[in-house]
Amino acid sequence: MQSIRKYHFPIFLFLIFISTRIYAQDRLNGRTFSTRSSVMAQHGMACTSQPLATQAAIDVLKKGGTAVDAAIAANAVLGVTEPEMNGIGGDLFAIVYDAKTKKLYGLNASGRSPYSLTLEEFKKRGLDFVPVDGPLSVSVPGCVDGWFTLHNKFGKLPVKDLLQYAILYARNGFVVADETAYYWNLLENKLRKYPNTASVYLPGGKPLNRGEIFKNPDLANSLEKIANGGRDAFYKGDIAKAIDVYMKKNGGYLTTKDLADHTSTWVEPVSTTYRGYRVWEIPPNGQGIAALEMLNILEGFDFSKIQYGSPEHVHLFVEAKKLAYEDRAKYYADMEFAKVPVEQLISKKYADERRKLIKMDRASDSFTAGDAPLAHGETIYMTVADDEGNMVSLIQSNSAAFGSGMAPDGLGFVLQNRGTLFNLSTGMNNTYMPHKRPFHTIIPSFVTKDDKPFMSFGVMGGGFQPLGHVEILMNMIDFGMNEQEAGDAPRIDHQGSSEPTGKTKNGVGTIYLESGFPIATIRRLTELGHNVGTQAPGNFGGYQCIRFDPVHKIYFGASDPRKDGMAAGY
């Protein structure tokens, strides 16, 4: 008996130890995939993909700034600390909820193509698609004008004060975070292509690594000119002249006239309902209405009987995406140049017809765009809310990582390559024309409930963004997750739909699933005829969110663990 106890007692202790270790590694509540709790605060909230930007926003709110003031400060910091993703060489979109008027305002601050670059020039060069980087891909940067347009309507503190945080980090340096360092090293060859770009982003001849200090005095000088001279310092002053000179030297077409003629546009956000919630997006030239089309299609299925992560969930989600993205390829474009049937595309009646094309027992590879009569992979997303109830949903991007790869002399930032999303085929809605806005991937979103603000959110990630929007909403509305869990949950991506650039679809396409989906789901999807990728492409987006509780007047903030950022409140 003693010998049995002698051997059983250590085993007993070992089992207790293992049990303790297992339980200690789990959260006390929430889903198994939860990474952290939501952040909760009464007076304000900021959620961005970089802690320094979040802190800048909170500091502005504490000084009495509005949500828009804080968003401008944070966005400027992100342009310094995440230069691969965004900056003053890129574009901006925003949805603002104004507590005084109890209304949503949409801003399209995307730039247009150069006057002097024509479709014929692309044809002379034998190009079927706009190059992914270099001078032909550059369009007018809309970010800075977007800041001042937002500030003129909703700002309180001087823009000069708001830009000081970014100027400080650009001049004195900041510590490079994980994701930024990853992209910096991944794209070293792109940064070496143009000497100016290499001199800015490869100090000492090499990319920055995690934990190293990066300074960008040229960008600090550019931001100081904007802080002191306003938006005209960028579009009509020394910065515009430097861009013009650089583009002429490097085979580009962007000129001082293109910059001087740039304007942002206030637009009415468009919406649909999903199970009692109203979801708002910016109308084209962006892709936001693809999310609305998907939601309308999916609303016709009873997800109270479908589990998250089940084959039925993934199958229906992907088939709805295929339908919406065929319309995206055919119709979405600059509405000053093309007739886009927005009301028809986001109508419930249209969704009812499109939904009939989905088969529960097989994947489709033959969807085409619907008949909507024409009668009449880089980005940051951030959101801020203030003590008065104002909320801003803001997204800003260089397009691809480090944009066109071109950094004009002495300015410290790269120009975006958004022009690469034009179609070079004649007669299409998104066909290239001078002084036209290209199709755009970056989309902010907003949700209301009973005509009150419910949630400001977005999911960065190129063409993935409408999928990300729908996944977040389904996770919360259909599957009962909170705002943080909705972003933590494993995501679904599908690639292979037709593109607005004119690239054709790739048959049934490929589903990519983040780790966490059951093997049984993957097996069943293949039985239905889906291709399920064995290696993810690494782009499942980056999510930030603020939810508002109107009863207790509380903000709930969530930030994506896939990024370097955080949510913070006060």
What is the arrangement of strands in the sheet containing 492-495, beginning at the earlier edge strand? 492-495, 510-513, 531-532
Tokens representing 409 are: 């002399």
| 199 domain residue, yes or no | no
Map tokens 């979040």 to a residue.
54
Confidence at residue 327, expressed as pLDDT on a 0 to 100 scale: 93
Q: One of 149, 197, 379, 448 is an active-site residue; which one?
A: 379
Range of the domain at 333: 284-376+461-550
Confidence at residue 370, expressed as pLDDT on a 0 to 100 scale: 53
Q: What is 385-399 written as a DSSP string? A: E-TTS-EEEEEEE-S
With a cut of 50, list the residues of the chain below it in pLDDT.
1-25, 371-376
3-state secondary structure of 440: strand
Strand 452-460 and strand 510-513: pairing?
unpaired
Confidence at residue 106, expressed as pLDDT on a 0 to 100 scale: 98
Cβ contact 284:334 at 8 Å: yes
The Cα 293–Cα 303 span in angstroms is 17
Name the residue among 547, 342, 527 with its Cα closest to residue 453: 547
| 316 domain residue, yes or no | yes
Cβ contact 216:412 at 8 Å: yes
The stretches of 230-355 forming alpha helices (DSSP H) are 231-235, 238-249, 256-260, 288-298, 311-331, 342-345, 348-355
Confidence at residue 501, expressed as pLDDT on a 0 to 100 scale: 87
| Number of neighbours of residue 496 by Cβ within 10 angstroms | 18
Strand partners, 92: 109, 396
Confidence at residue 246, expressed as pLDDT on a 0 to 100 scale: 97
3-state secondary structure of 363: coil
The stretches of 187-216 forming alpha helices (DSSP H) are 188-192, 195-201
What is the pTM assigned to this prediction? Answer: 0.93
| 82 domain residue, yes or no | no
Confidence at residue 500, expressed as pLDDT on a 0 to 100 scale: 86
Map tokens 């969704």 to a residue.
351
| Number of neighbours of residue 189 by Cβ within 10 angstroms | 8
Name the residue among 25, 452, 531, 38 with its Cα closest to residue 276: 452
Domain CATH code at residue 288: 1.10.246.130
| 353 domain residue, yes or no | yes
Confidence at residue 369, expressed as pLDDT on a 0 to 100 scale: 65
448 carries an active-site annotation: no
| 329 domain residue, yes or no | yes
Tell me the CA distances in angstroms from 84 to 262, 361, 399, 466, 557, one per residue in order.
Answer: 24, 43, 9, 22, 25
| 391 domain residue, yes or no | no
Confidence at residue 12, expressed as pLDDT on a 0 to 100 scale: 37
| 489 domain residue, yes or no | yes
Cβ contact 417:133 at 8 Å: yes
Cβ contact 234:159 at 8 Å: no
| 495 domain residue, yes or no | yes
- Structurally, how many domains does the chain consist of? 1
Maximum Cα interatomic distance, the chain, rounded to a whole number of Å: 95
Confidence at residue 25, expressed as pLDDT on a 0 to 100 scale: 44
